[in-house]
Structure 1
């Protein structure tokens, strides 16, 4: 997929500085004034990649703009070049060659089993948490709206215990903690590969034109925008805890409750690496995730995701799915991706190469250490024991040395108030 790398270089060209001439000299086969800026065969490859990834196919529009450039008489050339640059920016990243044979199905690489679960009879998270008076999601219209939730008492403590344990593990492995903002400019979010416009956008937009962040990956990537690093600093590894805001909803029965909500807490890993380091850095992030979930003692599996599940920025992606005994299903609790230079070129994240002092674009990678709601579902359903929940041993030190969660008798039931009469 060297072609896609070369095409992305066009995004750096300045429309006001002879862009047409530069476009002609940055394709795989050097173009002349009598040849198309991008050949038909090259556009075919771009289109094949977009279709394989189930991405919006804007290559027909790119073909039209390329043809228009050949016929232009300079009066509309700059406008056409600007449109072409915008369309090129919408192309997805290249795809790792090994994924091409996957079709639309992930490949299960490993399965980790730590507990025996009954095939029937296991209770679901919502039933368990309500019985223990630790959770509220229903009838919250007067408070927070649809797809929101309250965690109370020991369940709220368990959330914080998971966060602290994950941060302890990550910082011991060289990740530096950064506290990030949740409100970001839309160009940062779009540069990371998430669309802010259109019917299917998951992004909450504010009246100011800024957006609520869907993951701290975006704020962490934005922190390094227009930064030039040295090769000696790489791989640079950072982590953050943030609230994540998603406008997505789902009516699927298996995704009810806190499985898919509008806001949740997540511990995220983010790394900047050289092209030579990015493959091994992805493996490091993946192995850290596996180690975390092994120590939680839940059953989970590792998946190598097919092209149609990569989104726009990822070159390759691993997912981790946990077994949810109450729902009798696998549910995604983590993922990690190598975005190569897709985000770095859009955010201008560069480093100075040691061997020749050249300034080149870095590779960016990300991974989820813990996404709280789904991990809570897996832990509570996996560790249920009658009328109490056993706490995984690694989390006990963060839970005031409690070994189990029992019914919360201190916090009263939340009741819906429809009307309040004035005195």
Structure 2
């Protein structure tokens, strides 16, 4: 959530940032709403001050034997109590109205984020690896998986409908191997602590990371009012909600392997075949909680950790920085990592690493206190995929496919596959 004081003091910069993000420039409206809120709060406070003074004057009047004045003051106090409650209610309503608008506004882009309207204006930063040259026409992952006899979309549809899959045998094990390899790498080498969080959360948890109130249609809700998590970012980041952390405890680096659930409300007609865009998928998530002065370096570090997984698996990829019009709601800056998929002859997103700065922390009221200070400030939060497990499975199948329909198991995964070197049809 954005700070209304910052908006008041930087109205032009705010409007420019919203315009760059494709949102409405409305600093003047927000300042007007804040002026009204302040005025109502001041009016309620003035009534409280007068009520306190009148209460004291009652005792003085009685002490002086002036019963008429005492009675008049008592009547004034009674009236003030009623009027003050009404004023406080009005001030609260004005505050809530302002907060509701602020809750729908996206984060301010970092100053070095390229300005652009959509994904066509994202900027490529670097590439790693050389795409393999095939002596046969490479297939897409769903063709490979179905031919292997271990990827079943028809039975999944019978169970759950469209955008679900069933993996069996070596492909089910390969997906598990990928997740375990990622977790081991991030915990043993990259300094993240593994967490097993809840997969269902409350409204305020979704609000804290920015999914609510604006993106409810992209989520699944249970009959008792909880939400299925769209990513482990939600519970991991909210672990520090409404807490004041010691600076010495930061950075806090967390990772989790969880199922993720997304309605894909805006994905009609997109990636209707295969594992790329499903209602349920697995992801290893990375979350960092840090201080304001360390978050930019932490962003680079997190992205490098995600890249390291692809390098260890020998999967070519590229890194792009998203433009202002393509960033997620809570992000101030985002790096997307796109893996090469020879079956599609293109790069596809496999990780998105974002620095949200203090945007989520304000929604969660998560703060940090330095050891030598009584003052607190909001933490900075970061999140990234380390990686999307299903999409990594897609990349392994397509990049390691063979002409006879088999798939070579990447060397890094063989210890997790019982030494298996190839998955045969």
TM-score by length of 2: 0.81
In the comparison of the two structures, how many residue pairs are matched?
A: 374
Distance in 2, matches of 1:123 and 1:334, equals 23
Which residue does 1:84 correspond to in 2?
98
Distance in 1, matches of 2:125 and 2:364, equals 33
Structure 1 residue 253, shift from structure 2 partner:
5.5
For structure 1, the residue ranges without an aligned partner over 5 or more in a row are 1-6, 11-25, 29-37, 408-423
Distance in 2, matches of 1:258 and 1:286, equals 23
Give the alignment partner of residue 413 of structure 2, picking from 370, 386, 395.
395
Conserved? CA contact 2:218–2:263, under 8 Å: yes
Q: Secondary structure at the match of 2:93?
A: helix
Q: How does 1:135-214 map to 2 (within 5 A)?
A: 135-138=151-154, 140-172=156-188, 173-196=190-213, 201-214=217-230
Matched, 1:373 2:390: yes
Distance in 1, matches of 2:392 and 2:158, equals 28
Which residue does 2:277 correspond to in 1?
260
Which residue does 2:234 correspond to in 1?
218
Structure 1 residue 78, shift from structure 2 partner:
3.6
Matched, 1:295 2:315: no
Distance in 2, matches of 1:225 and 1:320, equals 29
Distance in 1, matches of 2:254 and 2:194, equals 6
Which residue does 1:93 correspond to in 2?
107
Q: Secondary structure at the match of 2:218?
A: coil
Structure 1 residue 257, shift from structure 2 partner:
1.8
When the two chains are superposed, the root-mean-square deviation of aligned CA atoms in Å is: 2.4
Give the alignment partner of residue 2 of structure 2, picking from 4, 8, 11.
8
Conserved? CA contact 1:162–1:370, under 8 Å: no
Aligned pair in 2 of structure 1 residues 276, 63: CA closer, same or farther (>3 Å)? closer
Aligned pair in 2 of structure 1 residues 309, 133: CA closer, same or farther (>3 Å)? same
For structure 2, the residue ranges without an aligned partner over 5 or more in a row are 45-86
Instruction: Tell me the alpha carbon deviations over residues 33-68 of structure 1, each in whole angstroms, 9 at most, x when there is no partner.
Output: xxxxx47xx444323312311346665753663575
Q: Secondary structure at the match of 1:310?
A: coil
Give the alignment partner of residue 401 of structure 2, picking from 380, 384, 387.
384
Instruction: Tell me the alpha carbon deviations over residues 288-337 of structure 1, each in whole angstroms, 9 at most, x when there is no partner.
Output: 11111011111110001111122221111100011111112221000111
Matched, 1:107 2:123: yes
Q: Which runs of 4+ in 1 moved over 6 A?
A: 70-74
Distance in 1, matches of 2:336 and 2:11, equals 31
Q: How does 1:63-74 map to 2 (within 5 A)?
A: 65-66=33-34
Larger radius of gyration: 2
Q: Secondary structure at the match of 1:54?
A: coil
Aligned pair in 2 of structure 1 residues 70, 191: CA closer, same or farther (>3 Å)? closer
Which residue does 2:14 correspond to in 1?
46
Which residue does 2:303 correspond to in 1?
286
Distance in 2, matches of 1:54 and 1:171, equals 38
Q: Secondary structure at the match of 1:93?
A: coil
TM-score by length of 1: 0.82
Higher helix proportion, which one? 2
Q: How does 1:299-378 map to 2 (within 5 A)?
A: 299-378=316-395
